[in-house]
Structure 1
Amino acid sequence: MPSTPLFFNFNSDPALGKALLLSLGAEAGELNQRKFPDRETYLRIDTPCDGRDVVVFCNLFDPDERILPLIFLCETLRDLGARRIALITPYLCYMRQDKRFQPGECVNAIPFAKLLSAYVDFLVTMDPHLHRIHSLDEVYRIPTQVVEAAPLIAEWLKQHRPEALLIGPDSESEQWVSRVAELAGCPYVVLEKTRFGDRNVEVTVPEIERWQGMTPVLLDDIISSGHTMLAALSHLRHQGLKRPLCIGVHGIFADNAYAELSAAADVITTETLPHPSNSIAIADALAAPVNAWIHAN
């Protein structure tokens, strides 16, 4: 039987970190870190890790502040004899730029995947932004596991909004929204979206008069500027439906997005990014593939 894994919460959500620690049945590792006056990172691992599996929880939102210290941690763990290193990052960054849209652009999804693959042995994340890259295996050189948010969202809807009409923000979301609808036993429709820029979106809402008396539930994997949802909400306002609900897997809420959305709808998210909107627990779902990985070898 493998020994109890070590767990490090590396500069991430304390509440989710505690829940992951319990779900993994792991031992909390002790870490000493600080910044030197010149802003360089000092790091010291105070728990022996020789021959042990190590799980690092590091949420890679705002990655440029976290990735270099994370590499220092993983390299030090390896140097001190850690057997294997698993990384749990609920929000996996640098997935949007998966194509060279303009000459000279960095397709940063590729070098970032190479970088992480060099320092960890297993990666677990939740619903990364996969578009032209269809699977993490296309860019990562290590075993990866994508945990679906759809079953968690569907279970929440069954408990709290059984009368939901699910609404996808665009044609690309149909496969994901239809999956949630199937699991929750709800009908769904998909909007037609034309994007003219990061903050300029035009949305067309299909005819939904037949769904009177239901709660419109807008689903998206990432709520960033919120403009797509806001555009849809402005159309729904005059349809005679119940107060809308917006659900996002990853709630980034740039600028004043959360306040603007909350004025027009209820808003909830999963726990991938710590935020007052967090309502859907994810710790057990993220821990399950790590536990399986640990006990498989």
Structure 2
Amino acid sequence: MNPEYPLLFALRGNQDYAARVAQRLGCQLAAHEEHVFEDGEHKSRALEPLNGRQAVVFHGLYDDTEYSVHDKLCRLMFFCAALKDAGARRVQVIAPYLCYARKERRTEFQDPIISRYVATLLEASGVDRLLSLEVHNVAAFDNAFRIATQHLHSAELFAEHFAGLIGDAEVVAVSPDTGGAKRAEQFRQALERRLGRPVSGAIVEKYRNNEVLSGTRLSGEVQGKTAIIFDDMISTGATLLHAGHACQAAGATRVFAAAAHGLFTGGSELLDSPLFERLAICDSVPPFRLDPSLAAQRLDILDTTALVAALLAEEYGLVASESRP
């Protein structure tokens, strides 16, 4: 391997995503091993010499069928610390999905601010830089960490996708709640640039009490328009369904939904609903909770590896290709 390249590692469960980034950079993933002991403890180590090298570690911090989010976080911390112990001069983590990003503030008396604790743990493990896709609150993400952070926006990627779907219809970009208004506005502006014509905006009123959603007010005009509801993630899908019904009731002729991260913790309820013509997500979290045939019919999954490869190429002086995978 070219000594000028950073060593790219992918912990278990993230090999496919990392391999696609590596392919775009014209390199291969570095070798490492992971071992689980009889008592449930775990170790991982790099098999490439690390002294003085830079390392990039790919690890999506979401719960899946094999590991809990806490297992993944612990494995990432141990591996990064081991890289530093082995002489790596710099360790960067690529976490397309970052756990606990939504727990960035207190909502109840003596609530923990877990995003800050995650930052402290990663910093203590020797991580020098963190890149993540479409975090819940960018300012809170930046403020939680003392190390360098980089936030990857998905607005341009979704704008490119929807520009080819909506034809000549009038379009409105909809935020499903007030908290996501800035994110939806970024998408609105990106889509407007792609289409070369005005795109309006709207915001749906939403209140949450013990996981029950309420609020029916919609600020903005959707009557006779194609509505695209844009959010950072799909968890149970209740927020998007709430916003979709509000748009439909207000006279939207077509309704689409988009979110960077598709967790689908509520199963297929969102995809089963005829409310949305199509749903689009990024590839940060594989839709393993969904039936593959249903996902293929109703879900568009956008590839973010070209964006990540371009950022790494710029940072490390490499050449990235958009067309390799």
Whether TM-score is above 0.5 comes out as yes
1:148: how far off? Answer: 0.9
Q: In the alignment, residue 74 of structure 1 is paired with which amino acid?
A: C
Residue 175 of structure 2 corresponds to residue 153 of structure 1: no
**C-alpha displacement of 1:40:** 0.8
* Structure 2 residue ranges without an equivalent (≥5): 64-68, 193-198, 288-294, 319-325
Q: Paired residues, what number?
A: 291
What is aligned with 2:34?
33
Give the corresponding residue for 2:77: 71
Aligned to 1:221: 232
Question: Which amino acid is 1:287 matched to?
Answer: A
Deviations 1:132-170 (A, max 9, x none): x72533221111111111111111121222433221111
Structure 1 segments unaligned to the other structure (5+ residues): none
- CA RMSD in angstroms, aligned pairs only: 2.3
Q: How many Å apart are 1:187 and its aligned residue?
A: 1.9
CA shift, 1:253, in A, is 1.3
Matches within 5 A, 1:6-25: 6-25=7-26
Residue by residue, what CA displacement relative to the aligned partner does 1:222-262 show, whole Å, maximum 9, x if unpaired? Answer: 11121122123234445554442110111111123x33344
Alpha-carbon separation, structure 2, partners of 1:174 and 1:135: 16
Q: Deviations over 1:74-95 (max 9, x none)?
A: 1111122222111100111222
Moved more, 232-241 or 66-75: 232-241
The one of 142, 148, 159 equivalent to 1:143 is 148
Equivalent residues in 2 for 1:168-247 (5 A)? 168-185=175-192, 186-206=199-219, 208=221, 211-212=223-224, 214-238=225-249, 241-247=252-258
* Separation in 2, partners of 1:106, 1:179: 30
In structure 2, the CA distance between the partners of 1:201 and 1:31, relative to structure 1 (3 Å rule), is farther
Q: Which amino acid aligns with 1:263?
A: S
SS for the counterpart of 2:164 is helix
Amino acid at match of 2:166: R
Give distance in 2, aligned partners of 1:116 and 1:205.
40
| 1:165 to 2:172 alignment | yes
Residues 15-72 of structure 1 deviation map (CA, whole Å, 9 limit, x = unaligned): 3222211233443111211311211113232222222211110001133121111112
Of stretches 163-172 and 67-76 in structure 1, the one that deviates more from structure 2 is 163-172
What corresponds to 1:259 in structure 2? 269
Aligned-partner Cα distance in 2 for 1:121–1:238: 49
Residue 20 of structure 1 aligns with an amino acid whose one-letter code is V
Instruction: Tell whether the 8 Å contact from 2:173 to 2:201 is kept in structure 1 after alignment.
Output: yes
Are the counterparts in 1 of residues 280 and 300 from structure 2 also a CA contact under 8 Å?
yes
Q: Verify the 8 A CA contact 2:203 2:219 in the aligned structure 1.
A: yes
2:120 corresponds to which of 96, 111, 114: 114
2:14, 2:58 within 8 Å by CA — same for their partners in 1? no
In terms of mean alpha carbon deviation, does 120-129 or 286-295 score higher?
A: 286-295
Going from structure 1 to structure 2, the CA distance change for 1:202 and 1:261 (only over 3 Å counts) comes to farther
Q: What amino acid maps onto 2:173 in structure 1?
A: L
User: Does the alignment pair 1:53 with 2:64?
Assistant: no
Tell me the distance in 2 between the aligned counterparts of 1:137 and 1:238.
Answer: 38
Show the counterpart of 2:323.
none
TM-score (norm: length of structure 2) = 0.81
Percent of aligned pairs sharing the same letter = 26
Q: Say if 2:100 and 2:114, in contact at 8 Å, map to a contact too.
A: yes
Match of 1:279 in 2: 301
CA contact (8 A) 1:191 1:204 kept: yes
3-state DSSP class of the match of 2:139? coil
**TM, length-normalised to structure 1:** 0.88
Give the whole-Å Cα distance in 1 for the aligned partners of 2:35 and 2:121.
Answer: 23
Q: Distance in 2 between matches of 1:245 and 1:137?
A: 30
**Residues 64 and 251 (structure 1 numbering): CA distance in 2 closer, same or farther, change over 3 Å?**
same
Secondary structure at the residue paired with 1:128?
coil
SS at match of 1:221: strand
| Residue 15 to residue 77, structure 1, CA distance change in 2 (3 Å) | same
The separation in 2 between residues aligned to 1:194 and 1:104, in whole angstroms, is: 22
